[in-house]
Amino acid sequence: MMILAQVNFGLNVAGLIGIIYLLLAIVYFILMLVWLVPRGTRLAGSALPGFLTSEKKTLGRANFKMI
């Protein structure tokens, strides 16, 4: 039955690369969260309005009030 369905449970290089890619993506996501979250919580004082106005410029012509 397995031969007719052509199911291969052996070592598949493409599948192995895909699994490694997914694992590295998860590790990268966690590292970016650990690195960026402390920086985001320290935005205060004069840095916070500058950050918000720079974000507002990327929105184009939409008039969003950030604060």
Query: Is residue 29 domain-resident?
Result: yes
At residue 62, does pLDDT exceed 70? no
In the predicted structure, residue 33 carries a pLDDT above the cut 90? no
Share of the chain above pLDDT 90, in %: 16
- Whether 19 is covered by a domain: the verdict is yes
What is the tens place of the pLDDT at every residue in 18-32?
Answer: 889 999 999 999 998
- pLDDT-derived band at 50 (thresholds 50, 70, 90) equals low
Structurally, how many domains does the chain consist of? Answer: 1
Give the residue carrying structure tokens 């007719």: 4
Closest CA to 40 of 28, 52, 27: 52
Residue 21 CA to residue 27 CA, distance in Å, equals 10
pLDDT reported for residue 22 = 93
42 contacts 34 by C-beta, under 8 angstroms: no
Say which residue, 53 or 33, is predicted with more confidence.
33
35: containing domain: 13-40
2, part of any domain: no
